[in-house]
């Protein structure tokens, strides 16, 4: 390592350890905003970047657009120097830049890296020597080295060894996967270990120092690809096990066995078993998507991830399974789905959050509408739902007082605010996909 590189690394590390480093976080969503608040709590100077001017305005006024983050938390961060902007030109003023942008699938279930590419192209002219760039977005192994680094170096992919060499490059690049679990208050965010993989030893050292300032444990790995694969393993592990219980639920229904009773009995084993629970399908940004990211990348190595792809297919099929059961339940009451009024309880993908990314409720609503049902929804955390990447609902949340008006009420998300005995007493028909009515016995309940 050259003496200039040594000096640059030492200077940046000193600024990080003394909390003098200026932190820029791109993407003020469910990952980027909580991360910005953690740095603000440690009195770093933090700037949040986002292309959504409305979000930026809300943050700069001390407000919040995420249910689990109260406005007073934003105001406290602002008092510590946090601010938001749409001006990517300010990237040049940052010592550390962390990218927390979406990585969805396209219509063919292939990775859509457009947000990463567009963001990196936008910041590349502002990146300078001695700056640390960290990608947090969930993606396939190789993205950091094969996509981010070349774009930062103005598209020069001629010598990947040079791109991996933080000595000759002048700036540092690392990958550290986000580990957000919206709605989970059982573990403090600081207590979630942070995995870090860097393009070279200096990048690992600096990125580890950055995260050690806000997390209680940092776990360095040998490369960005290893860190990227770590994130995929974590989520595919959940995806595969959820697919297993989803398939077993379908079998148990045919056999007249309560799958939830079986799971509760199995979880009494003090070793070798972890409980996973079935539902109407997977939601959230990571678990429904990650298997397809890895299977796409695996094909470049002439390898087919049959087991992982099958799990993804099982989970994708669950909303269709739910709709088939709704049709059957209505037909037993001499009603057709076509023209029936259906209320979906819960638009978010999991309990007690306001996040509807990849929510199975969206697919269920779409399928019901295609079959001629008149669909409305209720969600205490989502008062209105307009148009998104994969949906165009343009709906507002319906009052629960209107439950008796509907031919069928579907419990798609088991929010804790719902009074399930009251809902059951008012509804003509309940289709429960979450076992939310456990312990209740009524002729109008169908569990699937």
Backbone angles phi, psi at 22, to 5 degrees: -90, 125
Is 304 exposed, middle or buried (CB count within 10 Å of its CB: 0-12, 13-18, 19+)? exposed
| 291, 111 contact by CB (below 8 A) | no
Instruction: Taking the CA atoms of 183, 187, 188 and 191 in sequence, report the sign of the dihedral they define.
Output: negative
Rounded to 5°, the CA angle 233-120-215 comes to: 50
Catalytic positions are 286
Residue 205: both structure tokens together: 């050292």
| Angstrom distance (rounded) from CA 238 to CA 157 | 35
Which residues have C-beta within 8 Å of that of residue 242, sequence separation ≥ 6? Answer: 276, 277, 278, 279, 282, 287, 311, 315
User: Could you tell me which of 323, 343, 287 has the C-alpha nearest to residue 448?
Assistant: 323
Which residues have C-beta within 8 Å of that of residue 314, sequence separation ≥ 6? Answer: 243, 246, 247
Is 361 exposed, middle or buried (CB count within 10 Å of its CB: 0-12, 13-18, 19+)? buried
Question: What SS3 state is found at 403?
Answer: helix
**Residue owning tokens 């229904």:** 253
Please compute, for residue 233, the number of CA atoms within 13 A of its CA located in the half-sphere on the CB side: 8
Helix (H) or strand (E) holding 446: strand 445-447
């Amino acid at each position: 390592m050259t003496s200039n590189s040594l000096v640059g690394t030492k200077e940046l590390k000193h600024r990080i350890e003394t909390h003098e480093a200026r932190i820029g976080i791109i993407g003020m969503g469910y990952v980027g905003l909580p991360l910005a608040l953690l740095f603000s709590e440690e009195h770093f100077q933090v700037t949040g970047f986002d292309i959504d001017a409305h979000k930026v305005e809300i943050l700069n006024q001390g407000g919040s657009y995420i249910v689990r983050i109260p406005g007073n938390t934003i105001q406290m961060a602002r008092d510590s120097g946090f601010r938001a902007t749409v001006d990517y030109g300010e990237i040049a003023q940052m010592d550390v830049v962390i990218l927390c942008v979406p990585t969805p699938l396209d219509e063919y279930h292939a990775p859509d890296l457009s947000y990463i590419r567009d963001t990196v192209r936008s910041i590349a002219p502002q990146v300078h020597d001695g700056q640390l760039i960290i990608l947090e977005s969930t993606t396939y192994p190789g993205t950091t080295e094969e996509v981010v680094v070349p774009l930062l170096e103005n598209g020069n992919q001629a010598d990947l060894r040079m791109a991996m060499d933080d000595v000759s490059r002048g700036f540092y690049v690392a990958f550290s996967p986000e580990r957000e679990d919206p709605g989970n208050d059982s573990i403090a965010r600081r207590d979630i270990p942070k995995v870090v993989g860097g393009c070279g030893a200096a990048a690992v050292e600096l990125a580890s120092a950055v995260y050690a300032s806000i997390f209680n444990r940092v776990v360095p790995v040998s490369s960005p690809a290893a860190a990227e694969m770590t994130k995929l393993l974590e989520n595919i592990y959940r995806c595969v096990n959820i697919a297993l219980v989803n398939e077993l639920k379908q079998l148990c229904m045919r056999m007249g066995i309560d799958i939830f009773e079986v799971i509760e009995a199995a979880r009494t084993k003090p070793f070798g078993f972890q409980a996973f629970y079935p539902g109407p399908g997977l939601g959230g940004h990571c678990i429904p998507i990650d298997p397809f990211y890895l299977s796409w990348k695996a094909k470049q190595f002439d390898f087919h991830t049959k087991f992982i792809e099958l799990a993804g297919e099982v989970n994708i099929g669950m909303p269709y399974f739910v709709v088939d059961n709704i049709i059957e339940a209505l037909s037993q009451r001499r009603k057709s789905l076509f023209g029936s009024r259906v209320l979906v309880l819960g638009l978010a993908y999991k309990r007690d959050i306001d996040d509807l990314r990849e929510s199975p409720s969206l697919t269920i609503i779409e399928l019901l509408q295609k079959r001629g049902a008149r669909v409305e929804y209720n969600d205490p955390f989502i008062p209105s739902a307009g148009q998104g990447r994969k949906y165009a609902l343009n709906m507002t949340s319906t009052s629960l007082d209107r439950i008796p008006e509907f031919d069928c009420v579907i419990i798609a998300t088991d929010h804790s605010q719902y009074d399930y005995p009251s809902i059951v007493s008012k509804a003509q028909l309940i289709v429960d996909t979450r076992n939310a009515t456990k312990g209740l016995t009524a002729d109008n309940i169908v569990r699937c």
